[in-house]
Structure 1
Amino acid sequence: MASEPKTNLREYCRSLLLKEKQDREDNNILPSECAIIDILLARQLEMACVYEELYGKLSGNELAIKMALSVIVSCATFWRPEHLKEVRERKKELCEVNQTIEKLASELAMELAHRSHLNEVARLWSDTTDDICELIERASCDNQHFQMFLKEDLMYLGSRFDTKYWPSLESIVMAISRDADGAEIITKDNLTAAALVSNRPSNADFLRALYRGFDNHFLSHGGGLPDGFRLSDAAMASVMNCALNLRPDQLIDAEYVKGLRQRDREKIKI
């Protein structure tokens, strides 16, 4: 393709990005995405190969090109390395919290069982309740939904069936312990799942999320991108260099992307 069409494509994609930015500013939303758009605009020469591929592979379909650019902007905004670092820290924190809950709940279950035993054999009585319905009612004193819709039915069941029909407090707490012990940390969206497929954080997390972002917008998934749409390794490298605003000493190339694809092909099918 000659230089003039390439220049026209840069201007064409620039106009689409400017329109997207204007829409966000007019609606006073997503300023972080506007910042990414500004970065792409500032590095439009490096993005030229990307624009050329988008136009060619999407047959000049404006809606599809806009969608692909939107995916790039969104992934660079919400799945950039610093954000994913925070997600990894939260994942580690969740694991530690579950370990703590498992330990404390197990200890509490044993203490509850011990108290029940003493109440049965000692000539004393701890002025506490083991009535699960009563405890639920106490815990829900400020819950208007419970008060309006559940309390009457629960109290009826509690009066009809005595404590032998209900789980003991220690068994409930032990169930909480087992639940925490067996808990798996699950991501809420498949882009984050793809980005975190490696335990070791890197800029490659963004590329993984971007591949999955394209997948989510295939025609078969209700989007506007043709099924199987992919940018070349060189174009993906340019996207990452520009969207993450990498410095000259941080730039990656097509070989880096190719290596990533080969390593992750089975894990996330890219």
Structure 2
Amino acid sequence: MYASTEAVKQCETLLHTMMEDLHAKRIWPNVQSIIAGMLKRRIELADVYDEVHAALASTPRALYVFWDAFVHAADGWNPTKNRAARQAREELVGINSRISELADQMAALLDRRDDLHNRSGFSSGTHYHILDIVHEASEHNYQYESYVKDDLERLQYQFDLKYWPALSDVVQAIGTDAERAGVTADDSATAAATESRKSGLSDFVKAFLARVDDNKVRKCGVIPNSFALSDSALASLVNCGLALEFNELVDTDFIKRFRQRQRQAMKA
């Protein structure tokens, strides 16, 4: 009986159209697979279709935007990709720390080399002007060679070395910049999905709800500000969007606990 409802028809037609469009453009193969999997689980999603359709179908494009946000969240914030994102964040923190350490060492070596050039009676023919470094690094950059290099060379000849930073100072500035760097998420879904200490299915729920929130009217989107999914609908979306196995399925109690933790976090 579910297949005959207008809600199911419209939502499945929309998902079919999305999948066909992605296939025609040869993009987002993982999203295509997610949609194909959802279309095979009509019984589990029928109530979700009814709920979402009733809330959004009267608002132009809102239904499309909702499902687009969902399938891309399921692709971008499945457990495997979320663990990879957390690892990337930790790696970025470590890389900035290492850059800072190495910059200190390299700046000291550059200063020592300058001292030896000036006092030892020996030289090594290495670059000493920052623009010499820029020119050499950009020798295969057509845009630089065509539009920038001549102007910089005129400045280089116009102002002697005292007007330019020493190579050691440039390196030290790179190190200081890395030392001061704070690693932050580029969007609300990334921030939401990686805020907890441990990764889990809740990360996907956070990312998906953040994407929905980003598309609400108060943020210049089309989804009504009052829109909210029921616990049962959200649980079904988690199960189907992530293609969870029988022993991995979440239920309404999982969502209730999730929402409770979110309320407590907001009060803290």
1:126 Cα deviation (Å)? Answer: 3.5
Indicate if the aligned counterparts of 1:6 and 1:48 stay in contact, CA closer than 8 A: no
**Which of 213, 216, 219 is equivalent to 1:218?**
216
In 2, distance between residues paired with 1:226 and 1:6?
Answer: 27
Larger CA deviation: 99-108 vs 55-64 = 55-64
1:255 Cα deviation (Å)? Answer: 2.7
1:107 Cα deviation (Å)? Answer: 0.5
In 2, distance between residues paired with 1:169 and 1:98?
Answer: 20
Question: 2:94 is matched with which residue?
Answer: 96
Distance 1:152 1:12, change over 3 A: closer
**Which of 114, 135, 138 is equivalent to 1:137?**
135
Question: 1:257 is matched with which residue?
Answer: 255
Indicate if the aligned counterparts of 1:24 and 1:30 stay in contact, CA closer than 8 A: yes
Indicate if the aligned counterparts of 1:112 and 1:169 stay in contact, CA closer than 8 A: yes
Indicate if the aligned counterparts of 1:75 and 1:210 stay in contact, CA closer than 8 A: yes
Larger CA deviation: 225-234 vs 55-64 = 55-64
Question: 2:21 is matched with which residue?
Answer: 23
Distance 1:43 1:57, change over 3 A: same
| Structure 1 vs Structure 2 CA RMSD | 2.5
Q: Give 1:92's aligned amino acid.
A: E
- Structure 1: runs of 5+ lacking an equivalent: none
- Does the alignment pair 1:207 with 2:200? no
- Structure 2: runs of 5+ lacking an equivalent: none
- Residue by residue over 1:13-65, the C-alpha shift from the partner in whole angstroms, topping out at 9 and shown as x without a partner, is 22332232233334433332221112212222121221121123226557322
Distance 1:23 1:136, change over 3 A: closer
Question: 2:63 is matched with which residue?
Answer: 65
Indicate if the aligned counterparts of 2:57 and 2:63 stay in contact, CA closer than 8 A: no
**Which of 188, 199, 204 is equivalent to 2:186?**
188
1:99 Cα deviation (Å)? Answer: 2.3
Distance 1:166 1:41, change over 3 A: same
In 2, distance between residues paired with 1:11 and 1:248?
Answer: 26
TM-score, with normalisation over the residues of structure 1?
0.88
Q: Percent identity?
A: 33
Indicate if the aligned counterparts of 2:11 and 2:53 stay in contact, CA closer than 8 A: no
Indicate if the aligned counterparts of 1:46 and 1:238 stay in contact, CA closer than 8 A: yes
TM-score, with normalisation over the residues of structure 2?
0.88
**Which of 148, 151, 164 is equivalent to 2:149?**
151
Indicate if the aligned counterparts of 2:59 and 2:222 stay in contact, CA closer than 8 A: no
- Does the alignment pair 1:9 with 2:16? no
Distance 1:172 1:64, change over 3 A: same
In 2, distance between residues paired with 1:65 and 1:266?
Answer: 31
Indicate if the aligned counterparts of 1:6 and 1:52 stay in contact, CA closer than 8 A: no
In 2, distance between residues paired with 1:128 and 1:25?
Answer: 54
Larger CA deviation: 34-43 vs 106-115 = 34-43
Question: 2:233 is matched with which residue?
Answer: 235
1:7 Cα deviation (Å)? Answer: 4.5
Aligned pairs (5 A) from 1:24-173: 24-58=22-56, 60-61=58-59, 63-173=61-171
Distance 1:141 1:238, change over 3 A: same
Larger CA deviation: 4-13 vs 225-234 = 4-13
Larger CA deviation: 226-235 vs 120-129 = 120-129
Distance 1:48 1:60, change over 3 A: farther
Q: Give 1:185's aligned amino acid.
A: V
Indicate if the aligned counterparts of 2:60 and 2:222 stay in contact, CA closer than 8 A: no
SS at match of 2:148: helix
1:240 Cα deviation (Å)? Answer: 0.3
Indicate if the aligned counterparts of 1:112 and 1:170 stay in contact, CA closer than 8 A: yes
